Chains A and B, each alone.
Chain A
Amino acid sequence: AQRVTQPEKLLSVFKGAPVELKCNYSYSGSPELFWYVQYSRQRLQLLLRHISRESIKGFTADLNKGETSFHLKKPFAQEEDSAMYYCALSGLTQGGSEKLVFGKGTKLTVNP
C-alpha cells in the first residue's frame, strides 16, 4: 500500500533562512511524487512534481529512491511562503486503479 509521511506538523523559520519540509514515502512500485500547497484562504493547488525537475517559487524537491524521500527545499524563505504543504504520491492500488495519496501536511510559518 502507498503511504506518505510528513514527520513535522509545524515548522517555523525566519525570513531569509533555508527551509526544508520533509517527506518520506512507502511504495513498492515506481513512484511519482508531488508537492501541493494551500495558502491562507486559498485552495489547495499543485506546487511541483518530481518528474519535471523544475523550481517553482524558488522551491525544489529531489526524489531520493534510496532513502525513499522527497523533501521540499528553499534556500531563502519568504514570508509569503507561509502555508500548509502536502506531499503526495501517485501509484497503482492493488485493484489496479491509480491513486493520489497525501501526507498529513506541514504548516510552514516564516517569521519576519
Chain B
Amino acid sequence: DAGVIQSPRHEVTEMGQEVTLRCKPISGHDYLFWYRQTMMRGLELLIYFNNNVPIDDSGMPEDRFSAKMPNASFSTLKIQPSEPRDSAVYFCASSPSGRGIYEQYFGPGTRLTVT
C-alpha cells in the first residue's frame, strides 16, 4: 500500500490564482483530514470528513478555502484566490473506522508557495 497520496508535492503560484490540492486516502479508511502546517501556528486541522461527509470545518480560515470529498478515494482542498499568507505545508491524513480519529496516517504533504 502506498499510503496516503497527495499531489502535487510542491506548488508555486502567484497571488490571486486558484490552487487545488489533491488527496487519495488509504483504501478502507473512513476518515479524511486536511491540515495546514506553518512555523508560527504549527499543525492546524482545517476540516475532516467521515464517510465523505464533512464533520468539522471550523478550522477553515475563510471563504477562500473549500474542500470536497466526492467519493471515498478522493478529496480536494481548493484555495481561490490564493494569498501569500496561505504559503504553508498542507497535509492530508486518513484513519480507519473503529480507531476514532487518533490513529491518523499522514501523507507526505504539499508545500505551497504563493508569491
Binds B, one of A15-23, A41-49, A73-81: A41-49
Pick from A44, A45, A86, A100: contact of B102, CB below 8 A: A100
Cβ-defined contact, A32 with B102, below 8 A: yes
A81-96 to B contact mask, C-beta < 8 Å, 1/0: 0000010101001010
Main secondary structure of the interface of A (DSSP, over half): strand
Tell whether A95 pairs with B102 under 8 Å between CB atoms, given A43-B3, A102-B42, A103-B42: no
Interface size, B (range)? 20 to 34
Closest B residue to A90 using CB positions: B102
Cβ-defined contact, A100 with B56, below 8 A: no
Pick from B45, B58, B107: contact of A95, CB below 8 A: B58
Tell whether A46 pairs with B104 under 8 Å between CB atoms, given A99-B56, A103-B42, A104-B42: yes
With both chains docked as a complex, state the minimum distance between the C-beta of A73 and any C-beta of chain B, in angstroms. Answer: 20
For chain B, residues 5 to 52, give those with C-beta under 8 angstroms from any C-beta of chain A. 33, 41-43, 45
Pick from A44, A45, A99, A105: contact of B101, CB below 8 A: A99
